[in-house]
């Protein structure tokens, strides 16, 4: 029978002492507790502090501690399960050297100071930084092949199957549009212009190959040991590394960082894993995908659909509910509308129920059956390729976390961490896409990884700031944003507190080809009761990513509408629109651009 009541609390207290070399039972407001924490920090010793005033059963734990140690007060300090006492006794033990002796006597020697599992954006940044700070570091990276056997080199999602190939294929599409515009600017060419998938793929893959090589060299230069092996915890400080030939090796470390990222989710309908591809396969596909169905309506789906259509393919997107969930819906709708006018077809409120192969080939022919999310209507159509982009699953379920007690959020597989990226097991940290409730973006993973290494080994206390992180969706017309969506701002601050400035605009470069007027859009959301501070920045237009980056820096500095108005624009650019925005949404004023 599991222990109950008092007995259960006693086992919990014992477990905390066993799990944590330095265990401090503390209260968050207690200055004596702060002093002992500062002492261990100054000794470079990690501690775990349980703040009894913040626990529901804190009083009962304090009573159990009294029964166990005869000490009523906090801090109540244990080192390697030995009871040290309160603040005075801990400071005394430090002065007379007995504390250090105890710490030293139990110092176990490990193979590495730090092992990082996952050599993607976050893992590489963190491991190189830790090594630069003098630590002995190992990084493990292993790519489990996709169901159709695609695999890739060192560097993780961004470099191999994410940001880099995606942006380069987006560029291929942007160039296609530029070609169309160029005739109006005097370029004359006789021949039919075609796009060659194989050439694009090969050149992009060659570039990625050079990046993979660069990462290996950088790890070697920084003295980080790299193992192309799958890491899995087999003990609190021990991992098993299995290479692609199945050879197992074991390594120990004082600390661990989990940076294993995510992999695409499948639909779980008949035929999906056999016949569909995901973004993990698309960028290195050896043949042109042909007529393509993209399933999903978020970042990955819309970006891939956008560039596939931009290079001339027949593309349909099957949308279950809305575009770009979580983003400003007015902007998302406009990004979708632009795609539609540029040839992307949308089947809204439908989900696939089966995928059947009609003919094998490169590409072959597939039959997709789908059903309405709103009724009994069933539709079917034929495609050469089905790209599933319905979200991503965290790689946290097969790495032995349960063996060492790292808690995950069972509903989504993500790892909850405190504001120092520490998991429920004090010597195990996590960064990047696998974090619960954080943004899944490369620069976020890199920043978190670097700052974590500096805090662990460089005496820094800088934490990753996950607020006002800018991002851009590289749909054919890019959508950049920073801060709150209109929906979220209204939910948090209330409509009456906000002033929203908006306008359509027409890039000068588009006037001569005479295309797409009144499709680009700018919006800033200001908080009236906080000096008209800009709390949401949104731009839909060419190079929105480049525009958004600078305004994100301004928002970090506390940008207000007044400061925007005081800023002198750069003419003629798209970004200058933000220095002259006058029409508020509440006024209902006309925002269309005249001309043409
Ligand atoms: P990853 O980069 O995924 O790295 C994790 C690594 O760990 C992988 O190499 C994985 O194979 C390895 N691994 C997993 N399990 C183990 C194990 N047990 N042992 C050893 N190795 C393991 N972000 C942007 O900022 N801008 C963009 O434009 C952008 N575009 C994207 C486009 C696509 C199609 C996708 C899918 C993502 C895009 N992202 C973009 C998101 C970005 O790629 C991720 O946020 C980023 O790569 C996360 O970094 P990470 O270190 O958490 O994980
Ligand atoms: P996502 O944001 O989780 O979106 C999943 C999409 O799939 C949603 O549109 C969802 O529709 C749909 N969907 C889910 N299950 C479905 C089903 N069974 N049938 C049909 N549709 C289904 O996933 P993502 O696009 O893969 O992006 C993952 C993360 O990668 C993002 O959060 C982002 O941070 C990062 N990323 C960044 C960039 C960039 O910076 N430019 C680019 C790509 C990815 P509902 O809305 O109905 O749920």
Segment 194-234, tens digit of pLDDT: 999 999 999 999 999 999 999 999 999 999 999 999 999 99
Contact 478, 472 (CB under 8 A): yes
Q: Which ligand is nearest to the CA of 397?
A: 1
* Residue ranges of domains in the chain, CATH in brackets: 5-105 (3.40.30.10), 112-264+393-457 (3.50.50.60), 272-390 (3.50.50.60), 477-579 (3.30.390.30)
Flag whether pLDDT at 2 surpasses 60.
no
> What does the block give as tokens for 326?
């979580």
pLDDT of residue 3: 57
Q: How sure is the predictor about 4, in pLDDT bands with cuts at 50, 70 and 90? A: low
Query: Lowest-pLDDT range, 5-9, 216-220, 274-278, 392-396?
Result: 5-9
Cα 596 to Cα 588: distance, rounded to the nearest angstrom: 24
pLDDT confidence of residue 134: 96
Q: What is the pLDDT of residue 14?
A: 87
With a 6 Å cutoff on the Cβ, whether 389 touches ligand 2 is: yes
Beta strands in 268-413, from DSSP E residues, in sequence order: 292-295, 315-319, 345-348, 350-359, 365-372, 378-383, 385-388, 392-394
Two tokens at 143?
């790519």
Closest CA to 319 of 296, 344, 343: 296
Q: Tokens 């006058």 belong to which residue?
A: 582
Whether the CB-CB separation of 311 and 334 falls below 8 Å is answered with no
N- to C-terminal Cα separation, the chain:
81
Q: How confident is the model at residue 15 (pLDDT cuts 50, 70, 90)?
A: confident
User: pLDDT tens digits, residue range 117-158?
Assistant: 999 999 999 999 999 999 999 999 999 999 999 999 999 999
Q: Which residues are catalytic?
A: 571
Dihedral angle sign, alpha carbons of residues 373, 378, 381, 384 = positive
Average pLDDT over residues 339-344: 97
The tokens describing 342, both together, are 């540029």
Residues 36-59: what's their mean pLDDT? Answer: 90
Under DSSP, the state recorded for 152 is -
Q: Is the pLDDT of residue 317 over 60?
A: yes
At 92, is the secondary structure helix, strand, or coil?
helix
Q: Give how far Cα 47 sits from Cα of 79, 125, 252, 493, Å.
A: 9, 25, 20, 39
User: Percent of the chain having pLDDT more than 70?
Assistant: 99
Q: Whose alpha carbon is nearest atom 15 of ligand 2?
A: 390
- Closest ligand 2 atom to Cα of 392: 26
Of 120, 169, 204, which is best to mutate to test ligand 1, by the most ligand atoms within 8 angstroms of its C-beta? 120
Q: Average pLDDT of 518-539?
A: 98
Note the pLDDT of residue 1: 47
Ligand 2 site, residue 470, Cβ cutoff 6 A = no
Cα(216) to ligand 2 centroid in Å equals 31
Once rounded to an integer, what is the mean pLDDT over residues 297-314?
Answer: 98
Average pLDDT in the chain: 95
Distance 392 CA to ligand 1 centre (A): 10
Task: Please write the tens of the pLDDT for every residue from 487-502.
Answer: 999 999 999 999 999 9
Taking the centre of ligand 2 as the mean of its atom positions, its distance from the CA of residue 526, in whole angstroms, is 28
Residues 6+ positions from 496 with CB-CB distance below 8 Å: none
- What is the pLDDT, as a whole number, of residue 299? 95
pLDDT greater at residue 504 or residue 47: 504
Ligand 1 atom closest to 163 (CA): 30
pLDDT tens-digit series, residues 61-101: 999 999 989 999 999 999 988 899 999 999 999 999 999 88
Ligand 1: which residue has its CA nearest to atom 27?
163
**pLDDT band at residue 596 under the 50/70/90 scheme:** very low
The predicted-structure confidence for 405-435, as pLDDT tens digits, reads as follows 999 999 999 999 999 999 999 999 999 999 9
Q: For ligand 1, say whether the CB of 231 is within 6 Å of any of its atoms.
A: yes
């Amino acid at each position: 029978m599991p222990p109950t009541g008092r007995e259960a609390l006693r086992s919990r207290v014992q477990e905390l002492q066993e799990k944590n070399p330095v265990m401090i039972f503390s209260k968050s407001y207690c200055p004596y507790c702060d002093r002992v924490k500062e002492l261990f920090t100054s000794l470079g010793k990690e501690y775990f502090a349980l703040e009894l005033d913040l626990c529901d059963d804190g009083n009962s734990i304090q009573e159990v501690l009294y029964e166990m140690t005869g000490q009523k007060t906090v801090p109540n300090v244990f080192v390697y399960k030995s009871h040290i006492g309160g603040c005075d006794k801990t400071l005394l033990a430090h002065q007379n050297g007995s504390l250090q002796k105890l710490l030293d006597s139990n110092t176990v020697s490990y193979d590495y100071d730090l092992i990082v599992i996952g050599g993607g954006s976050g893992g590489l940044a963190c491991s190189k930084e830790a090594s630069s700070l003098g630590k002995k570091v190992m990084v493990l990276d292993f790519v489990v092949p996709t169901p159709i056997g695609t695999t890739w080199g060192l560097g993780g999602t961004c470099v191999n199957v994410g940001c880099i190939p995606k942006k380069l294929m987006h560029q291929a599409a942007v160039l296609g549009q530029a070609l169309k515009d160029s005739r109006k600017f005097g370029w004359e060419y006789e021949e039919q212009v075609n796009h060659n998938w194989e050439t694009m793929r090969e050149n992009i893959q060659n570039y990625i190959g050079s990046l993979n090589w660069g990462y290996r060299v950088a790890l070697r230069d920084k003295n980080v040991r790299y193992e192309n092996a799958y890491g899995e915890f087999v003990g609190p400080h021990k991992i098993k590394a299995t290479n692609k030939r199945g050879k197992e090796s074991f390594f120990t470390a004082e600390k661990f960082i989990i940076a294993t990222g995510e992999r695409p989710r499948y639909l779980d309908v008949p035929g999906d894993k056999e016949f569909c591809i995901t973004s993990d396969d698309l960028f290195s596909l050896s043949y042109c995908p042909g007529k393509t169905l993209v399933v999903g309506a978020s970042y990955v789906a819309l970006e891939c659909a956008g560039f596939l259509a931009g290079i001339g393919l027949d593309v349909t997107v099957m949308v279950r509910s809305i575009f770009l969930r979580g983003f400003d819906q007015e902007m998302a709708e406009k990004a979708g509308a632009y795609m539609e006018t540029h040839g992307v077809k949308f089947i809204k409120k439908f989900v696939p129920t089966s995928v059947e192969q009609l003919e094998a080939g490169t590409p072959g022919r597939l039959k997709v059956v789908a059903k309405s999310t709103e009724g009994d209507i069933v539709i079917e159509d034929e495609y050469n390729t089905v790209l599933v982009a319905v979200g991503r699953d965290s790689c946290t379920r097969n790495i032995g976390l349960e063996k060492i007690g790292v808690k995950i959020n069972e509903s989504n597989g993500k790892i909850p961490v405190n504001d120092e990226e520490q998991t429920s097991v004090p010597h195990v940290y996590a960064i990047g896409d696998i974090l619960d409730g954080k943004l899944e973006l490369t620069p976020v993973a890199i920043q978190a990884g670097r700052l974590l290494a500096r805090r662990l080994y460089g005496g820094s206390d800088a934490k990753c700031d996950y607020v006002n992180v800018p991002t851009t969706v590289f749909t054919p017309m890019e959508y950049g944003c920073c801060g709150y969506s209109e929906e979220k701002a209204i939910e948090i601050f209330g409509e009456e507190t906000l002033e929203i400035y908006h306008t359509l605009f027409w890039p000068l470069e588009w006037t001569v080809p005479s295309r797409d007027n009144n499709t680009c859009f700018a919006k800033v959301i200001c908080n009236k009761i906080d000096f008209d501070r800009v709390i949401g920045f949104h731009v839909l237009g060419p190079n929105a990513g480049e525009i958004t980056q600078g305004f994100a820096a301004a928002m970090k500095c506390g940008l207000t509408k007044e400061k925007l108005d005081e800023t002198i624009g750069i003419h003629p650019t798209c970004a200058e629109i933000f220095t002259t925005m006058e029409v508020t949404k509440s006024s209902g004023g006309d925002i269309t651009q005249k001309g043409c």
